[in-house]
Amino acid sequence: MSNPFGTVPTEAILEGDATDAYFERTRTTLETAGKNPHVVAEVTADQFPTGEFDVLTGVKDVATLFEGRRVDVDAMPDGQLFDGGPVLRIEGPYLEFAELETSLLGFLSQPSGFATAALEARRAAPKSLVLSFGARHVHPSIAAVVERAALLAGLDGFSHVAAGDVLGREAGGTMPHALLFCFGEGNQPDAWDAFDEAVPEDVPRIALADTFWDEVSESLLAADTLGDRLDGVRIDTTSSRRGDFRHIIREVRWELDAHGYEDIDIFCSGGIDPDAIRTLRDVADGFGVGSHVTSAPSVDFSLDIVEIAGEPISKRGKLSGVKEVYRTPDGGHHVALANRDDPEDGESLLEPLVRDGEVVREFDLEAASERCLADAESVGFRSDKNAE
């Protein structure tokens, strides 16, 4: 059976069939009329800076989409933060890329939303371990997109095995509640011992410690069971039973310390968002973040023609003319008409991506992540002075 999960095949995306129907009708109309103007089009979310930055990613997929097309494409680097103005610019005959608009925007919009939310979590606790646990909330076909966005934003790891195969990284994780259920209430030590005996030595021994009994009781039991082999406990208490979650974590920490288990870490998961991280970061050692990333709104990009045959043009409410965007030394984001005076000491952010159908840029996830984190610091992204 071909395509059993009903996803759009790669060939449809590359050939321009993964599009909105009105682009096909536009092509038919323009070809019938004998029109195919030379245009410049720009992808933007906001026309002017708003003071709220987002993370750009998905650029590598856009490059693949335009490879072999008779167009030039400029784009911000993968992982760059932006605040208004174009993040990508296309120049060439319009019918070379008309049907690609739908896929182009999809490649940028949702991954950029994921990365922006992941960066919020990262910035909430820069020194804590933060892992991506959200792949279960999205269609499996885009799990690697989620995990890549999380890594780009500086998260320390992820849980999805197949995404790891795609990204060339090893997925992490220890045990679900199902493992404890299979051994039954009162047999938690048997479950933890079995895990310890079964998994490779390089897998951290993190005991899930909130399944049947009080979090303190199960944490101490896990510590007594595995002793020096236990690296940490994970508290995943459902929100309906949490009460004051910070108080629960403080109590677990206190009792572990009181019983001589100061080296055992506490890892929190289950509905964790940046606010929760800020509340818990001084009493917990790490966090699993899921739905905060996967439920993030997509960045609302649109593509607009801004020049035809060398003349500026725009729809009402949009800005005509080819533009440049700059990062200023004070961390500002500056939008200006191209071929005008640059802002003083401003760094131009749009760089060549495709030239006459040839991809002219290399992509490296580590470099993109470093860029993202450095730029977040430069612009004061979701600044929190108490996070250091």
CB atoms within 10 A of CB 66: 24
Pair (99, 216) in one structural domain: no
CA distance 334 to 284: 39
| Residue ending a domain, choose from 294, 323, 356 | 294
Pair (286, 306) in one structural domain: no
pLDDT (tens, 9 = 90+) of the chain, 388 residues, equals 467 899 999 999 999 999 999 999 999 999 999 999 999 999 999 999 999 999 999 999 999 999 999 999 999 999 999 999 999 999 999 999 999 999 999 999 999 999 999 999 999 999 999 999 999 999 999 999 999 999 999 999 999 999 999 999 999 999 999 999 999 999 999 999 999 999 999 999 999 999 999 999 999 999 999 999 999 999 997 776 767 899 999 999 999 999 999 999 999 999 899 999 999 999 999 999 999 999 999 999 999 999 999 999 999 989 999 999 999 988 999 999 998 877 878 899 999 999 999 999 999 999 999 999 999 999 999 866 555 5
Pair (250, 154) in one structural domain: yes
Q: What is the CATH number of the domain that holds 342?
A: 3.20.140.10
Residue 120 counted as domain residue: no
Pair (109, 129) in one structural domain: no
Residue 5 counted as domain residue: no
Residues 6+ apart with CB under 8 A from 51: 83
Q: Count how many Cα atoms sit within 13 Å of the Cα of residue 153 in the half-sphere of its side chain.
A: 35
For the chain, the residue count is 388
Pair (174, 259) in one structural domain: yes
| Residue ending a domain, choose from 272, 294, 316 | 294
Phi/psi of residue 296, nearest 5 degrees: -60, 140
Residue 16 counted as domain residue: yes
Pair (108, 205) in one structural domain: no
Q: Which helix (H) or strand (E) holds 364?
A: none
Whole-number pLDDT of residue 217: 97
Pair (198, 288) in one structural domain: yes
H runs (alpha helix) in the chain = 10-14, 21-33, 59-66, 101-124, 143-152, 161-167, 177-183, 188-198, 215-226, 245-258, 274-280, 291-294, 365-379
Three-state DSSP class for residue 258: helix
Our count of domains for the chain comes to 2
Whole-number pLDDT of residue 386: 55
What residues form DSSP beta bridges with 93?
Answer: 38
Residue 19 counted as domain residue: yes
Pair (91, 204) in one structural domain: no
Residue 4 counted as domain residue: no
Whole-number pLDDT of residue 239: 72
Residue 119 counted as domain residue: no
Residue 118 counted as domain residue: no
Using left for φ > 0, alpha for ψ between -120 and 50, and beta otherwise, residue 105 falls in alpha
Pair (137, 267) in one structural domain: yes
Pair (87, 38) in one structural domain: yes
Q: What is the CATH number of the domain that holds 259?
A: 3.20.20.70
Q: If 0-12 CB within 10 Å is exposed, 13-18 middle and 19+ buried, where does residue 293 land? A: buried
Pair (277, 133) in one structural domain: yes
- Give the sign of the dihedral formed by CA 211, CA 216, CA 218, CA 222: positive
Question: How many angstroms separate the most distant Cα atoms in the chain?
Answer: 82
Residue 203 counted as domain residue: yes
Q: What is the per-residue DSSP string for 117-130?
A: HHHHHHHH-TTSEE
| Residue ending a domain, choose from 239, 269, 294 | 294
Which residue segment(s) compose the domain that 29 sits in? 10-113+297-387
Pair (22, 167) in one structural domain: no
For residue 190, what are the CA distances in angstroms to 123, 174, 363?
38, 15, 46
Whole-number pLDDT of residue 274: 96
